[in-house]
Structure 1
Amino acid sequence: MFFAWLLYKLVFEFIIPVYRSTKAVRKQMNDIQQHMRQQYEEQQSAHNYGQGQSSQGQAPKPPKRDDYIDFEEIK
């Protein structure tokens, strides 16, 4: 009878609460990862939009020749 009580206490006061808390932590971690992934995708789409790329996949225009400065090595 003592061992049945001990087994009952072990299962219902230790194993089940640990299982539930582990499940809750995993769910929270998945939610956080999903949120971070959404932020990253939004940031990437905003970054691409800022560079002249559209969601239709058009390539950005090449920079003008005036934008470059000639490099001269100094010795």
Structure 2
Amino acid sequence: MFKVLLWALAIYMLYRFIFGFVVPVSKTASQIKQKMSEMQQQQAFQQHEYARQQEQQQQKSAASPTPKKDDYLDFEEVK
């Protein structure tokens, strides 16, 4: 009778350990991995967008005509 109670207690403790600790920890770890991968994808997308915007700005600045020297007037500062 004592062996049966001891085995029942051991099985109950093992059950509590698995479903009270191991399963929640594994679920949390998988959720963290998923969130990390989402964040990495979002960061990669943002970096791509930033690079594209920088490229567009460089193209606009290269395409805009450079001002001619004749467009500027020399002036003397009056004190």
Global fold match (TM > 0.5): yes
TM-score, normalisation: structure 1 = 0.68
Structure 1 residues without counterparts, runs of 5 or longer = 54-59, 65-75
Query: Whose radius of gyration is greater, 1 or 2?
Result: 2
RMSD of equivalent CA atoms: 2.0
What fraction of aligned residue pairs are identical, expressed as a percent?
21
**Relative contact order (alpha carbons < 8 A, sep ≥ 6): 1 or 2 greater?**
1
- In the TM superposition, 1:6-17 aligns within 5 A as 6-17=13-24
How many Å separate the matches in 1 of 2:54 and 2:10?
A: 64
Greater helix percent: which structure? 2
Instruction: Tell me if 1:24 matches 2:31.
Output: yes
Matches within 5 A, 1:53-72: none
**Aligned pairs, how many?**
57
Q: State the 4+ residue runs in structure 1 displaced beyond 4 angstroms.
A: none
Residue segments in structure 2 that go unaligned for 5+ positions in a row: 1-7, 67-79
**45, 48, 56: which one pairs with 2:55?**
48
1:5 to 12, 16, 41: 12
